[in-house]
Amino acid sequence: MWYRSTEHFEKRRKQRGLRKQMLSFILKYGIEVERAGAIFIFIELKKLPPALRKSEFARKASKWLIVQSPSGELITCYATSRPLEVIKKKTKLDLRKTGSLTI
C-alpha cells in the first residue's frame, strides 16, 4: 500500500517497532476519526471482517494509533492499548490551545 509520510513518522515508526506490514494493515482496515486538526487511524476489532477479527496479527494491530495530516501525510504513530482515549486527550489539548473544537 502506498502512503506519504514525514521524516518524523518514519523515525518514530522505526523507533517504536511498527513494521510496514502492520502499517499497511492498519491503513487498509482502520477507522479514521478527525479530531484536533488531524486524522487518527486505528483498528477496531469489532469492525474487521469476521475472518480477521480473532487473528493475533489483528489484535496486535489494534494497539496502534496512526496520526495523519489533513493533506494525507502520516505524521506519527503511538503504541497504546486504548487509542480512543488518546484521541480524546488530543481533542482536549486542542480545545485548551485554540479555544475551539476542530472536528
**In this predicted model, what pLDDT tens digit does every residue of 16-61 receive, in sequence order?**
999 999 999 999 999 999 887 889 999 999 999 999 998 999 999 9
* Interatomic CA distance for residues 46 and 52, integer angstroms: 10
3-state helix, strand, coil in the chain (%, to 5): 50, 25, 30
Q: Can you give the pTM of this predicted structure? A: 0.82
d(CA 51, CA 38): 30
Instruction: Supply the mean pLDDT for the chain.
Output: 85
Domain boundaries, the chain: 4-98
Q: Smallest Cα–Cα separation from 12: which of 79, 87, 94?
A: 79
Helix (H, G, I), strand (E, B) or coil at 18: coil
